[in-house]
Amino acid sequence: MQNLKFDSNGLIPAIVQDSKTKEVLMMAWMNADSLQKTQETGETWFWSRSRQEFWHKGGTSGNVQKVVALRYDCDGDTLLVLVEPAGPACHTGEVSCFYRMLEK
Amino acid sequence: MQNLKFDSNGLIPAIVQDSKTKEVLMMAWMNADSLQKTQETGETWFWSRSRQEFWHKGGTSGNVQKVVALRYDCDGDTLLVLVEPAGPACHTGEVSCFYRMLEK
């Protein structure tokens, strides 16, 4: 974890990708403690910036994300979390939060 | 673009994914102007936070990224850019910047 750079708020962006379909499911933020919880439990834990609290993905919905691998980028300032999701990542029911196309 | 939320610095994270292999290549930041350049040119343009200037990916190396699709997430605060890369995304020569595994 000493290779990672957290921002001025102690956070690092975490991209979540389905390890099988390779679809990008969501992006959320982790702090050092939520990353540690993720590593210890084998499921994704984030830090909710709006609620200022830990957020166990799927803790309420049941759509937990089992961590298959944790990667980090060349700058050490972004995480890529490969997961097996138990259900849709998005609160809308879509598999991925990135279900909309940006029009020109 | 009115559906997007830029942060207090006017930036939005942009995840770059290979449209064919579905590998996540990198994550960088765009502001409204770099997003517009991306849409107008069909190649990725970012905002370099360290240099405080536009960054045309591949402008020097030749490893440009041709934009295939632009998606945004349910919160409107993250972009997913699907690209056809002309070469490695990473300055190290690796195909993806996420070439390292995080150890526990």
The reply to whether residue B22 touches residue A23, judged by beta carbons under 8 angstroms, is yes
**Coil vs helix vs strand at B32:** helix
Contact residues, chain A, for B3 at CB < 8 Å: 100, 102
DSSP letter, residue A50: T
Does the interface ipTM go beyond 0.90? Answer: yes
Band of pLDDT at residue B48, cut at 50, 70 and 90: very high
Mean pLDDT across the stretch B8-20? 97
For chains A and B, what is the number of CB pairs under 8 angstroms? 88
Does the pLDDT at position A104 exceed 80?
no
Band of pLDDT at residue B40, cut at 50, 70 and 90: very high
Band of pLDDT at residue A1, cut at 50, 70 and 90: confident
> Closest-CA residue in chain A for B89?
A74
Dist CA B102 CA B18 (whole Å): 22
| Confidence (pTM) | 0.97
pLDDT of residue B52: 95
Contact residues, chain B, for A5 at CB < 8 Å: none
**Coil vs helix vs strand at B19:** coil
Does the pLDDT at position B103 exceed 90?
no
Can you give the C-alpha Rg of chain B in angstroms?
A: 13
CB of B90 within 8 Å of a chain A CB? The answer is yes
Chain position carrying tokens 């300055």:
B91
Dist CA B11 CA A14 (whole Å): 17
Give the count of alpha carbons within 13 A of A11, CB side only: 16
First to last CA, chain A: 40
Span A48-103, pLDDT tens digits? 999 999 999 999 999 999 999 999 999 999 999 999 999 999 999 999 999 999 98
Q: Which of A24, A49, A50, A51 to mutate to test the interface with B (most CBs of B within 10 A)?
A: A24
Q: Which of A49, A79, A80 to mutate to test the interface with B (most CBs of B within 10 A)?
A: A80
pLDDT of residue B2: 82
Does the pLDDT at position A2 exceed 90?
no
Whole-number Cα distances in Å, A20 to B4, B23, B38: 29, 11, 30
Considering only CB atoms, B15 lies closest to which of A22, A24, A99, namely A24
Can you give the C-alpha Rg of chain A in angstroms?
A: 13
